[in-house]
Amino acid sequence: MTTLTAKQRLTRAVRGQEVDRIPTIGGWMNGPRNLAALAGITVEQYLADPPRGVVLANLALGVDAMVRPAVPTKLQEIRTGVCEESKFAGIEPEALVQLADSLPDNEREILATFDAAAAERGYRDFFEGAFANWGGIVPLGNFWEIGGPFPLYHQFGYIAFLSACALYPDHVGKIWWSRCVTARARAKILVKLYREYDLVPVLFCGEDLCNNQGPMASPEFLRQHYLPHVQMLIAPLVESGIRLVHHCDGDVRLLAADFLRIGFSGFQGFQYEVGVDPVKLRKLRSPLGEEPIFFAGMSVSRTLPFGTPDDVRDEVDYFIDCTDGGRGCFLFTSNVTGVEVPPENIRAGYEQAKNHRLGRTSTAAHPRWPWAVKHPET
């Protein structure tokens, strides 16, 4: 087929239509030195204007789209989103009970303090800033508050939060419900803006529910106290035809079918080393019979930091094999890359996706993650 524009490629892939090659997504790369190298500028030039340096790096990679990007500003900055339990010493699970008891019991009172105009302005600022400053890279909606407010550990720490899940499930559920009510109001604003700006009909969201051992709380608990609220939250977007992709850290296998059941259309990640198998996830279906879409992530824990460019290329081919020739597959990183990732590995991944036309047919009945084949001990 003829060469598509980035927006055409992304939109057609989201809708399950034929595309010329798998779309690519950027924005999750860390390390000023790495970003400067990718952009072809000096570190000093990067540090003088980090947001511009991030854009230049992604333009050099030729990405089709970018989520809200990581913008490192310090040479020693190596991680984002760290939650340290030591900062929550002295917080007891009863703190969540106190918060829940202080919350209104109806939506009207919860929304009385919601500033819809400010929320809309924030979303407009993101999209309009991207249109103005990203050099033609297509912005993809990436708003964590839309995917569900699971990680109360950021407010109370892991011990108090998880203890409260066990001791006071109804109270934890009420906190989630109240935050989902507000987030649903935000989702309705996004529906309007997606139409107004004619955006690619996909939104990337979903907070961390899992670690390498599986869900942080039991699936049964989540199905009763959490997932119904998230389903209510995302319904306006789902009903308007916007497909939602859930971020997947850790071992998500026990919850993957639940995410599809409540309205998500696909997954982003993955941590293959804990047993997550895209081939098996691909066999799941939504209630309407749709196969999931993948923001298939190059591994930030194995292949990108420790492999060679050829290892990365093999991993990209693996994604294409897992998706029957790249159908519904978007190339991304599994998480924010670390400063230890060689720029040449990142370049190799995006180049392989751009140069690889669709239609590749795997010779294996069940493709295996190449890193595990070459390095079974890791």
pLDDT at 358: 53
Delimit the domains of the chain by residue range. 24-374
Tokens of 2: 């003829």
Residue 6 · residue 330 · CB < 8 Å: no
Integer angstrom CA distances of residue 202 from 128, 238, 255, 344 = 17, 10, 21, 29
Q: What is the pTM of this model?
A: 0.95
Question: 3-state DSSP helix/strand/coil percent for the chain, to nearest 5?
Answer: 50, 10, 40
pLDDT at 136: 98
Give helix 158-167 / helix 169-197 axis angle, nearest 10°. Answer: 110
- Residues in the chain, pLDDT under 50: none
Q: What percent of the chain has a predicted confidence (pLDDT) above 70?
A: 97
pLDDT at 360: 55
First to last CA, the chain: 41
Going by C-alpha positions, the residue among 209, 207, 172 that lies closest to residue 93 is 172
pLDDT at 79: 64
User: Quick one: fold of 24-374?
Assistant: TIM Barrel (3.20.20)
Residue 203 · residue 155 · CB < 8 Å: no
Positions of E strands within the chain: 25-26, 65-66, 138-139, 141-142, 202-205, 210-211, 214-215, 243-247, 266-269, 293-298, 329-333
